[in-house]
């Protein structure tokens, strides 16, 4: 299985070199733990490798996400929207549930053949929009199975209640269905040197039974945020071994990919808007 670089500092080392392509990763964290930042860095790295990015946002407006991304050092984020390599789907939980049921299959058909990274941030409102657990499971399972056909998927989950208690029902279903589970935690007094980033379940990797733990300051990646609030960039890096988009990313992986293939046309579904448009 091919690995893709996560874009998150220290994570690739924890996951034997990166995230397995066409897998689904669940990132769990309490409010402000860094879920959206994590998701943004994951997409950024893909775009710099010549992949496409789909950011499904259920909480923050796309403009807000772009603004924060720029503050974190991703200055040319907007150019990827202009080039059509990054699209936002901006929806509420209920709207997106309906989108999954009625239009996701068509959306996936349009993106088939594209190497994309797909983010759902956060997935929690989608679960809340459905009452029955069985139905929640069906919906999340369908979402993950479909989206992984067009790329590597990352869903964030809000952690409510007691920190580190991962037995809450809205965490259990996606944790079981996802291939990898990453738990973001704050630094605290008993862990004074930075919040560990835990990868409790990297599927399909050696030692998967044992949770791995690392710190966001660990070496092993590039283009990542480090504790302290800034995103560090390194100089030109080697092109990705599995770069499938000719010309993507430009030298050193900077700038929007020049992808000659036709873009999927926009999808518009009851308030869910994408293809570069950023209105809810």
How many chain residues bind Mg ion (CB under 5 A)?
Answer: 2
Nearer to Mg ion, 7 or 249 (CB): 7
Q: Is 270 in the site for ligand ATP (CB under 6 A)?
A: no
* Beta-bridge mates of residue 28: 157, 183
Q: Is 67 in the site for ligand ATP (CB under 6 A)?
A: no
Nearer to Mg ion, 124 or 180 (CB): 124
User: CB 6: neighbour CB atoms within 10 A?
Assistant: 27
How far apart are CB 258 and Mg ion at their closest, in Å? 31
Angle of helix 93-102 relative to helix 104-111, nearest 10 degrees, comes to 70
How far is it, in rounded angstroms, from Cα 156 to Cα 173?
13
* Beta-bridge mates of residue 88: 55
Cα distances (angstroms) measured from residue 150 to each of 48, 110, 269: 18, 9, 20
- Partner in contact with 216, chosen from Mg ion, ligand ATP, none, beta carbon below 5 to 8 Å by kind: ligand ATP
| Interface pick for ligand ATP out of 7, 10, 18, 29 (rule CB under 6 A) | 29
- Partner in contact with 140, chosen from ligand ATP, Mg ion, none, beta carbon below 5 to 8 Å by kind: none
Nearer to Mg ion, 35 or 114 (CB): 35
- Partner in contact with 235, chosen from ligand ATP, Mg ion, none, beta carbon below 5 to 8 Å by kind: none
| Interface pick for Mg ion out of 23, 24, 36, 136 (rule CB under 5 A) | 36
| Interface pick for ligand ATP out of 6, 12, 23, 37 (rule CB under 6 A) | 37
| Interface pick for ligand ATP out of 81, 100, 154, 225 (rule CB under 6 A) | 225
- Residue 132's SS3 state is coil
For 165, residues 6+ apart whose C-beta sits below 8 A from its C-beta are: none
How many chain residues bind ligand ATP (CB under 6 A)?
Answer: 15
- Residue 254's SS3 state is coil
User: Token pair of 181, please?
Assistant: 């589970």
User: Token pair of 77, please?
Assistant: 């984020």
Q: Is 229 in the site for ligand ATP (CB under 6 A)?
A: yes
DSSP character for 10? T
Q: Which residues are at the interface with ligand ATP (CB under 6 A)? A: 29, 31-37, 59, 72, 158, 216, 225, 227, 229
């Amino acid at each position: 299985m091919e690995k893709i670089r996560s874009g998150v500092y220290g994570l690739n080392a924890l996951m034997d070199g990166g995230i397995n392509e066409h897998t689904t990763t669940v990132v769990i964290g309490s409010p402000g733990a860094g879920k959206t930042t994590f998701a943004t860095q994951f997409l950024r790295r893909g775009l710099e490798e010549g992949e496409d990015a789909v950011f499904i946002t259920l909480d923050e407006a796309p403009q807000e996400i772009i603004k924060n991304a720029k503050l974190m050092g991703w200055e040319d984020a907007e150019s990827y929207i202009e080039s059509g390599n990054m699209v936002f789907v901006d929806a509420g939980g209920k709207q997106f549930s309906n989108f999954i049921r009625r239009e996701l299959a068509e959306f996936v058909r349009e993106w088939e053949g594209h190497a994309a990274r797909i983010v759902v941030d956060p997935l929690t409102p989608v679960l809340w929009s459905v009452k029955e657990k069985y139905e929640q499971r069906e919906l999340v399972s369908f979402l993950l199975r479909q989206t992984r056909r067009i790329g590597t998927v990352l869903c964030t989950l809000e952690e409510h209640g007691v920190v580190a208690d991962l037995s809450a029902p809205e965490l259990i279903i996606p944790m079981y269905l996802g291939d990898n589970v990453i738990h973001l935690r704050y630094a605290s007094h008993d862990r004074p040197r930075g919040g560990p980033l835990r990868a409790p379940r990297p599927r399909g990797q050696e030692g998967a039974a044992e949770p791995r733990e690392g710190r966001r300051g660990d070496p092993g990646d590039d283009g990542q945020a480090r504790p302290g609030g800034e995103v560090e960039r390194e100089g030109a890096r080697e092109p990705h071994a599995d770069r499938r988009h000719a010309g993507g990313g430009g030298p050193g992986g900077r700038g929007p990919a020049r992808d000659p293939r036709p873009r999927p046309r926009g999808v518009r579904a009851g308030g869910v808007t994408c293809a570069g448009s950023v209105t809810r």
